[in-house]
Structure 1
Amino acid sequence: MGAAILGISTAVFAPVTGPATAGPLYPVPDPDPFYASPADIAEKSPGEVLAARVMPPLAIFPATTVTLVKFRSTNSQGLPIAATSTVLTPPGRSPGGPLLSYQHIINGLGPRCAVSRVLYTADPTLQVREAVALNAVLARGWSVALPDHLGPTFAYGAARLGGQITLDGIRAVRAAGLGLHESRIAMAGYSGGGMATAWAAALAPRYAPELEIAGAAAGGVPANLVRMLQALDTNPHPAFGLVMAAGIGLEREYPDRFPISDSMNARGLVTRGAVANGCTNEILTAGAGRSVAEYAQSMSLVDDPEARAVVEENSLELFDGVPNMPVFEWHSASDPLIPVDSIVRTNRRYCDAGVPLHAERTLSPEHMSAAVLGIPSVLIWLEGRFRGDPAPSNC
């Protein structure tokens, strides 16, 4: 990419020259020991099942069995981590019936934001956010895996990590004794969940080449974090809290390469502490209408290649990998949150590489409504992949 794309305000992701004063602020540990990493995790293989637990039934998914699976995955430093995925098994599922790995939107920095936790929250608005679509899937007899794809430190913004956890989650769910070892597999997700889905598709040939995945449906994908930060610059934004959360998450995943806390002023550090375990509402409220300029010690444009490289490494448009499966991609006609042209360029690169890709642009001028508008087409496309039909392409 050109220098114009890479020349972003390093107040966002480059440390101020001087001694470190803050360091990463990690989330509180989950109080449930089930989520803890075992002492021998380094001896396990990626995707290996570490534990499984049958969970209480959920009224929002009638007669559906719920199983929480813990497995070994890998973080961005190549180190072993424990991750989790919640499996929904519909009543009367046929042996070998389809398995959909669905990556939820997780805008959060703490354990209570995990899908496995949100499903059992007392807040019904969180609980039913995507229940309608999931019930439509379960009614088709498909099992659904819902990975906690931000990992144990809730590294929001670490997109590549989400792809790895998604793939290891599929490995684990198939091996967990749930009758899914011969199931045809597909993946789907929107926005942050779409980012984890799209990264899983792009990483699959290298990270999990043994998995035969019938297709990946990814919508509203933040395909280029570099350009998103460039568009934000130092201007106030109603969703600035999500940008700050992504900086906190990336620092957790890359503490030596992305020390953003050292660039924060006193106000920034206070806000960081306030959202360090927050979920969507707290994060959006804390950052609504704020800007980089309010929280940074310096607006210096000093070029920090390591910090910039972290953002590039988590930008799908800049990744040279290509999916080895059909792809369905959908996005809004114009999106105030993500650069649509980065999605289009990524689609074009996939088409040039021979990927069967069907892209759909909804009429929505807004980010989240496009998710709903795309659901009917996504379900039809997924049904075709599970049947083994030839994948459509409008390249």
Structure 2
Amino acid sequence: MRKIFSLSLAAAVLASAVAGPAPASAAPADDAFFTPPSPLPAGAPGDVVRFRVTEAGAITAKVRSWQVMYRSTDALGQPNVVTGMILIPRSVDPATAPIVSFASGTYGPAFRCTPSEMERIGASYEQPAINDMLDAGYAVVMTDYEGYHPDPKTTYVTGRSEGHAVIDVVRAAQKLPETGLSKTAKVVFRGYSQGGGASLWAAQLQPEYAPELNLVGAVGGGVPADLVQVSLQLDGKLGFGFLAYSLIGLDNAYAELDLERYLNDAGKTAFARMQREACTLELLLDYRGKRLSEYTTASPVLTPPWLARVQENKLGGTPIRVPVHEYHGTRDDIVDFAQHKALRDTYCGAGVAVDWKTYDTDHITGVYLGNAGAAAFIADRFAGRPATSNC
């Protein structure tokens, strides 16, 4: 019964989001803005490659907003370019506004699912959290992560790539003169699910990768910290589409993994279609209950090359130096609860100031149920109040 409830809620929420109002100026599916330049221009992480003023769905009148392409760093430490969005409330002085780098949850592998495009047309399922932060007077910057362009090759759940992208969209927003944002502004990383993992990866990487940022906190809800443990809970279940997408994402990040050689004909067709067409709703509805064995001649999951790359993207190896708010639903039916609890324990053991909260709920409901706690934590960090830990 709980699974049926979760699925119906997911369908209702995501269908509502996708069916949100689209402005007449909706961009074509092959929007060249998102095509990476070749060769990449010289520069440093966070340098702006291009930008454009844009709409932001129903909140357009309340914010100044831009889509931006900026330099970042992939999972192998090589330069790349990533797109994202900058939102600043018209009611605030940007020179004094704190910044939240909001790491989006799963939007799907297809180009039409690009998170900043979902925000632009008013179809973001995370809009309540975004609205709360804007209403609080924060600038909100959002990365699309690596690989959203007309020939999409997104690097889903590849923590090192995602963490760099979350950091560098802050740098890009601070470097873009039109925003007026301060380079000394207080910054918090925040996200749920895929975004929760990306947020904590950004927090782990920041001291070495971007020491100039005035980072004061990080929020991670529903975090897929250990991809092996998460994957074991998805095969044949509601979230199989996320397992399949995870394989695609890692394969896009690390060419030597060569996912295609493990796929049978049905797998090659289904996975190609997924990259071409699937957003979150399709991942949930079209692939629920499927098994990896239906699509593969042999499972890649436990082979040495895959295990090595998965291990590289396991959270917890580096203590986070700022206070952290983590939360998770104890009945999570997509991202295993126990592996996130293990990450919390690891951070606590390493001396991280962790504020840990659990909710008696499933994964989809947790997208919304954790908003109030996350908002309170962020407000405290920006106000300079002492952090508390319940380790």
Count of matched residue pairs: 356
The 2-side partners of 1:59 and 1:134 are apart by 12
Report if aligned partners of 2:300, 2:306 keep a CA contact under 8 Å in 1: no
Report if aligned partners of 2:56, 2:119 keep a CA contact under 8 Å in 1: no
Letter in 2 for 1:290: K
Per the alignment, residue 320 of structure 2 pairs with 323
Deviations 1:353-376 (A, max 9, x none): 222110001122x11212322111
The 1-side partners of 2:282 and 2:264 are apart by 20
Deviations 1:282-326 (A, max 9, x none): 23333221101111113599x632221111112214xx2121211
Residues 1:372 and 2:371 are matched in the alignment: no
Letter in 2 for 1:50: V
Residues 1:97 and 2:97 are matched in the alignment: yes
> Which of the residues 143, 148, 152 maps onto 2:144?
148
Q: Where do 1:57-136 residues align within 5 Å?
A: 58-94=57-93, 95-121=95-121, 127-136=123-132
Task: Look up the SS of the partner of 1:221 in the other structure.
Answer: coil
Report if aligned partners of 1:70, 1:82 keep a CA contact under 8 Å in 2: yes
Task: Look up the SS of the partner of 1:289 in the other structure.
Answer: coil
Q: Where do 1:98-247 residues align within 5 Å?
A: 98-121=98-121, 127-152=123-148, 153-177=153-177, 178-181=179-182, 182-232=184-234, 235-247=235-247
Cα 1:143–1:195 shift into 2, 3 Å? same
How far residue 57 of structure 1 moved from its aligned partner, in angstroms, is: 5.1
Q: Where do 1:329-340 residues align within 5 Å?
A: 329-340=326-337
Normalised by the length of structure 1, the TM-score is 0.85
The 1-side partners of 2:176 and 2:137 are apart by 19
The 1-side partners of 2:202 and 2:97 are apart by 22
Structure 2 runs not aligned, ≥5 long: 1-27
How far residue 160 of structure 1 moved from its aligned partner, in angstroms, is: 2.1
Task: Look up the SS of the partner of 1:93 in the other structure.
Answer: coil
Report if aligned partners of 1:202, 1:322 keep a CA contact under 8 Å in 2: yes
Letter in 2 for 1:194: G
Letter in 2 for 1:276: Q
Task: Look up the SS of the partner of 1:70 in the other structure.
Answer: strand
The 2-side partners of 1:70 and 1:298 are apart by 38
The 2-side partners of 1:279 and 1:231 are apart by 21
How far residue 332 of structure 1 moved from its aligned partner, in angstroms, is: 0.9
Task: Look up the SS of the partner of 1:316 in the other structure.
Answer: coil
Structure 1 runs not aligned, ≥5 long: 1-28
Normalised by the length of structure 2, the TM-score is 0.86
Between 240-249 and 37-46, the greater mean CA deviation after superposition: 37-46
Per the alignment, residue 23 of structure 1 pairs with none
Report if aligned partners of 2:164, 2:205 keep a CA contact under 8 Å in 1: yes
**Percent of matched pairs sharing the same residue:** 31
Report if aligned partners of 1:58, 1:64 keep a CA contact under 8 Å in 2: no
The 2-side partners of 1:186 and 1:338 are apart by 23
The two structures, once aligned, show a CA RMSD in angstroms of: 2.1
Report if aligned partners of 1:107, 1:156 keep a CA contact under 8 Å in 2: no
Report if aligned partners of 2:108, 2:280 keep a CA contact under 8 Å in 1: yes
Cα 1:61–1:219 shift into 2, 3 Å? farther
